[in-house]
Structures are given as structure tokens and as C-alpha cells.
Amino acid sequence: MPEAAHPIFMGVDVFYVATLCAAVCLCAMLLTLYAATTVRDPMAKRVKQLSERREQLKAGIVAPVIKRRAKLVSRNESTDRMRSILSSLKVLQDTQLKDTQIKLAQAGIRSKDTAYTIIFLRMVLPIVIGGGVALWIFGLDGLADWVQWKRAGVAGVALYFSYKAPDMWIDNLISKRASAIRKGLPDALDLLVICAEAGLTVDTSFNRVAKELGRGYPELCDEFALTAIELSFLAERRQAFENLAKRVKLEALKGVVTTMIQTEKYGTPLASALRVLSAEFRHDRMMRAEEKAARLPALMSIPLILFILPTLFIVVIGPASCSIAKQFGG
């Protein structure tokens, strides 16, 4: 007895799509259960990184030149192999390496050797993914029922996104980290004002803020703790504040850094300046919340039209339609 053909909707097998959706839902459920059952301390990894940075700064002060370079630069075999490949192909530029390291620092990745991995992936992924898609389309006659320009477009899109994938990943991390730091900046400035009025020094105030707000805003407190360490060990305190501005891609924090530098240079009162900045950032946060609330009706209109109204029409008009069809049919 021949098997019944699966229903086809718009050229797509309905059973296949339903099976795929069920598999995605199962994976999402398992991932949710895993995330709920494995609760990790957000500060454990950051405390380890801060301890390593403290040891690096100590090594840079007291160790000889040869030992200093050995401690400050941590290498592994894979990174050395990538570096040698990039150097042999003449594709490793100092400006490109420096920009990538700054982006990684803004994304919260402290290891500078990761920059070689990112540059290596920019070179390898287009060859592997883009070249593989092009070989499948043009060499193995994939998507044979498509027209030629569509096939070329798929290959071009695969090549473009495979090249941009590392940068897109880093930009996403930078955006999320900057957003998290922006949320906690007004509270951190309020606590800095309290510490300054209590007579604490700048580095002690930064340490206190990092300790008090570590659970609520781990990203911001990570940067504050690292700045406090650099204030204690670096020869120029201005350099510590400039490093903070480089590590965080946020204009609001650059204003705080400028205020700190002016306070260190001219001796202006720190508490009053930070109080003004805190009020401005709190007002900006309220404006952002009001903007999101104003956009909510426009964003809700699309799911309302696509999902809620059709269901409502079916529930309200469905019984009447069935009755009318039954009467006319009878």
C-alpha cells in the first residue's frame, strides 16, 4: 500500500518544517535547563583576571627586562603558529593588530593574543566557508533550479559574512558590554561622590565602588577595579584613566575620565563635578527608558496584526461561519 504523501505548503514539506521546529524547541529547552541549573559566580573569572593584571604590573616594576617580557607576554603554541603564518604571508600589520586588541579590550577580552586568532579567522573563514559554498554551488551544481545571479548572490553573501563574522561577534560583545556599563554608571558615580566626601582617595574610592556594586554591575566594577590597580602601580595616574576610556566604548565614561584627569591636574573639587555628571547620566537613563516606552506601541502592532487579530477573528467569526455554511449546505 503506497504511503500517503506529506502535505506541501508553498513548496515546503510541512512535516519537515514541523520536525525542524520541534528539534529547535527541544534544543532551546535543554539550553534553558542547563543555564538554570548551572549558576556561576559573575565575579570569579574577573577576580582572576584582575589578580593576573596586578601580577603583571608588579612584574613590570620589579623584574629585570628579560623576566619582565617573559611574564608580561604569555604565549601558547597555537598562537605562535598563527602569528608565524600571518607573518609569512605578509598580512599582519601593526595598526591592524593594535585596533583589534583595542576592540577586544572593549569587549572584555583581556588576552592580547586573541587578536592574532581574530585576524587569522578573517583570513581563513572566507576561504573555508565562502570557498566551500562557492564549490558546492558552482562545482557540485548546488541550487541547480535557481537562476545564475541568485546562485552568485548566495556565494557572495556567504563570502561576505564569513569575512565579517569575527568583527560582528566582537561588535556585539562591545555593544552589550557598553550597555551594561551605561546602566550602572549613575549608581557608581553616586557611590564615588559619597567616597570622595568621606575623604577617601581616588584609587580607594574605585576599589570601594567595585566591591559594593560587583554583584549588580560586574562589567563596570571590573573596569573600576582594574583602574584602581593601575592607579596604584603605574607611574602616571593620567595613563590609568586614559586606559579606562580606551577599554570602554562609551562617551559617558569618557566624560568621567576627563573629569578625573582635570581633578588630578588642577585640584578641582571631585565630589561636585561627579554629582553633576551623575545627575546628567540619570536623566539620560530616564530619557532612554521613556523612549523605549514610546516605541512599544509601534513594536507591538506587528505581532498584534500577525498573531493576535487572526486568532481573535477565528474565535469570534468561526462559529457563526460554521453555522451559516451548515444552513446553506443543508
Radius of gyration of the chain (CA): 28
pLDDT on residue 70: 47
pLDDT digits (tens, 9 = 90+) for 301-321: 888 888 888 888 888 888 888
The mean predicted confidence, pLDDT, of the chain is: 81
pLDDT digits (tens, 9 = 90+) for 176-232: 999 899 888 888 888 988 988 888 888 888 889 988 888 888 888 888 988 888 888
Strands 8-9 and 12-13, sheet pairing: antiparallel
pLDDT on residue 1: 39
pLDDT on residue 288: 84
Task: Give the range among 2-16, 252-266, 305-319 with minimum mean pLDDT.
Answer: 2-16
Residue 282 has pLDDT above 50, yes or no: yes
Q: In whole angstroms, give the CA distance from residue 322 to residue 325.
A: 5
- Tell me if 127 sits within 8 A of 238, measured CB to CB: no
Name the amino acid, one letter, at 83.
R
Q: Please name the helix (run of DSSP H) or strand (run of DSSP E) that holds residue 46, with its range, or none.
A: helix 44-62
Residue with cell 523612549: 291
pLDDT digits (tens, 9 = 90+) for 234-251: 888 888 889 998 999 888
pLDDT digits (tens, 9 = 90+) for 66-114: 444 444 444 567 777 887 888 777 777 888 888 888 999 889 888 878 8
Percent of residues, the chain, with pLDDT higher than 90: 5
Q: How would residue 7 be classed by pLDDT, with cut points 50, 70 and 90?
A: low
pLDDT digits (tens, 9 = 90+) for 10-37: 666 777 777 888 888 889 888 888 877 7
Whole-prediction pTM value? 0.69
Percent of residues, the chain, with pLDDT higher than 70: 84
Handedness of CA 247, 250, 256, 261 (dihedral sign): positive
Q: How would residue 170 be classed by pLDDT, with cut points 50, 70 and 90?
A: very high
Residue 173 has pLDDT above 50, yes or no: yes
pLDDT on residue 172: 93
pLDDT on residue 6: 64
